[in-house]
Chain A
Amino acid sequence: MIAFENVGYSYGGAELFSGVSLTLAPGSFHFLTGPSGAGKTTFLKLCYGELVPTTGRLTLFDGEVRSMSRDDVAMVRRRIGVVHQDCQFLDHLPVAANVALPLTVCGREADVANLQDLLTWVGLRPHTDALPPSLSGGERQRAAVARAVIMSPEVILADEPTGNLDAEMSMRLLTLFIELNRMGKTIVLATHDMNLIRATKGQVPARVLRLQNRKLQLAGADL
């Protein structure tokens, strides 16, 4: 599905990480941890083709990322739901239209009942017609999660999805990710929140990846 082979990434001449080899198998659940600046966001951006590795080989859904056109990357992104840390939206569209945006760009209409259910699940039902600038940080994050999952993508990548949420909403979103994983979706959550990782234990077989010292490690061992 997503395969890193000896991948490295440098920015401005400085190497962020190197020698990363990892396969994100269908239905797997990964937490991505590491200190700030270790490259977690960059790793996720590589996973959905926003960045291209400086060394090594990265395959997204059987396509080598360097040989992909922009339209190829767009097709890949329709199979990946992304929750950004900064949660960008189209500020002129109401929350419901923003959440349904992945469907719109595919030329599909959102099922109103499903959309309302999803907004209810993430606690944004009262904000259906609100514009994004009027949302709080936590509400924006929940809207971003709803937008990432509305297409029922094969892979969900989330960068600190619970960073602005209270404990209750964090657990609620974690439950959503776990349910999606049980449905066969591949989940990668970049997080500092150890409570989130602990809460997952026993519910799904999650693996913890750690980016540190320019290397990717799995449960204390180099990958």
Chain B
Amino acid sequence: MSRPVLPFTDPSADRVVPPTGHTAWLTGFTAAAMTFLAVFALALSLASGRLADRWQEALSNTATIRISAPPDQIEAQTRAVLTLLSTTPGVGDARALSDVEQRGLLEPWFGPDLPVDSLALPQLVEFASADQGYDAQGLRLRLQAEAPGAVLDDHTRWRRPLAVAAERLRLLGWLSLALIGGAMAAMITLAANAALAANAQVIRVLRLVGATDGFIAGAFVRRFTLRALAGSLAGGALGALAIFALPSADEAGGFLTGLGFQGYGWFAPLSLPLLAAIVAFAATRAAARKKLSELM
């Protein structure tokens, strides 16, 4: 009569619910696979959140002034712009980009041998925004008056679509998590229904000897919840390992920078098995209550 005590098994549930290998395997596998995917969705969501913040911060902290003027006026207007910036409230460090830096910016499009000297390129002035920020509209008016060839680009037209894209990516991550949770609930419900239907005789015997619906449902709910928890722990651990094994941001290049967890973010996947167990508990409980009311 003695049985090996396995982790995550419940002896009282084992006593009345027969071991059902197929549904046990299905539930455990489903929970593991879904949690594995959920780890990636969670990583995507957290990473896109960080990306959105980073883009927002980087682009909102700097601005550029483009000076397009005849060659003999460029230097004078550049000086005027730098002087103007130094007296503008809310503007931090400002500097004119050198020819080498401007060539570096154009290099991806025109190659390394670009004769910058022979081209009528505008002069770029980069400046940082101080904490309190500056009045962009006021700065534009002053530029118009003191350096007519200078145009302020505060990066708004770049910043807004990037921030929207990153926000959408973050929403996509959360939506994926919700869909994964829903799909897991549906699969566990199907498995629980199959187990309940396959155990109609067991339920009949239990009722004959005075078992309440709560006792019968509890036996199935415990079993499925523990199976889902065990599967989810395995899937979550594999997912976290896979994320950990991804190439680092520096090696992978710019676009997928930082997909994964950082710092306390590594604790986030720990919540997934708990969520999976809650989903399994709710799904099995609802399925058991419904099935038991049908099996009069």
Q: What residues make up the interface of A, taking CB atoms closer than 8 Å to B?
A: 48, 50, 70-71, 74-75, 77-78, 82, 84, 88-94, 96-97, 101-102, 104-106, 129, 147, 151
Residues of B within 8 A of A94 (CB): 1
Verify A147–B15 contact, CB threshold 8 A.
Answer: no
Residues of A within 8 A of B19 (CB): 92
Given A97-B15, A104-B15, A129-B1, are A74 and B202 neighbors across the interface (CB < 8 Å)? no
Given A97-B15, A104-B16, are A90 and B205 neighbors across the interface (CB < 8 Å)? yes
Q: What residues make up the interface of B, taking CB atoms closer than 8 Å to A?
A: 1, 15-16, 18-19, 201-202, 204-215, 292-293, 296
Residues of B within 8 A of A93 (CB): 15-16
Residues of A within 8 A of B212 (CB): 70-71, 74-75, 105
Measured CB to CB, the nearest residue on chain A to B205 is A88
Verify A75–B210 contact, CB threshold 8 A.
Answer: yes
The tally of CB-CB contacts under 8 A between chains A and B is 63
- 3 residue pairs, one from A and one from B, having the closest CB atoms: A78-B210, A92-B18, A105-B211
From the candidates B202, B207, B210, B296, name the one contacting A90 in the complex (CB within 8 A).
B202
From the candidates B201, B213, B215, name the one contacting A88 in the complex (CB within 8 A).
B201
Residues of B within 8 A of A92 (CB): 18-19
Measured CB to CB, the nearest residue on chain A to B219 is A105
From the candidates B15, B202, B208, B214, name the one contacting A82 in the complex (CB within 8 A).
B208
State the CA gap A76–B191 with chains docked (Å): 32
Min CB–CB distance A151 → chain B (angstroms): 8
State the CA gap A30–B211 with chains docked (Å): 27
Residues of B within 8 A of A104 (CB): 15-16
Verify B205–A74 contact, CB threshold 8 A.
Answer: no
State the CA gap A89–B205 with chains docked (Å): 6
Verify B201–A74 contact, CB threshold 8 A.
Answer: no
State the CA gap A105–B12 with chains docked (Å): 10
Verify A102–B15 contact, CB threshold 8 A.
Answer: no
State the CA gap A129–B3 with chains docked (Å): 13
Verify A102–B205 contact, CB threshold 8 A.
Answer: no
Min CB–CB distance B36 → chain A (angstroms): 32
State the CA gap A97–B16 with chains docked (Å): 9
Residues of B within 8 A of A105 (CB): 16, 206, 209-212, 215
State the CA gap A75–B18 with chains docked (Å): 24
State the CA gap A155–B18 with chains docked (Å): 29
Verify B213–A77 contact, CB threshold 8 A.
Answer: no
Verify B208–A77 contact, CB threshold 8 A.
Answer: yes
State the CA gap A182–B292 with chains docked (Å): 38
State the CA gap A141–B293 with chains docked (Å): 29
Verify A74–B1 contact, CB threshold 8 A.
Answer: no
> Beyond A88-B204, A104-B15: 16 further Cβ-contacts under 8 Å?
A50-B208, A70-B292, A70-B293, A70-B296, A74-B213, A75-B212, A77-B207, A77-B209, A78-B209, A88-B208, A90-B206, A101-B209, A105-B206, A105-B211, A105-B215, A106-B210
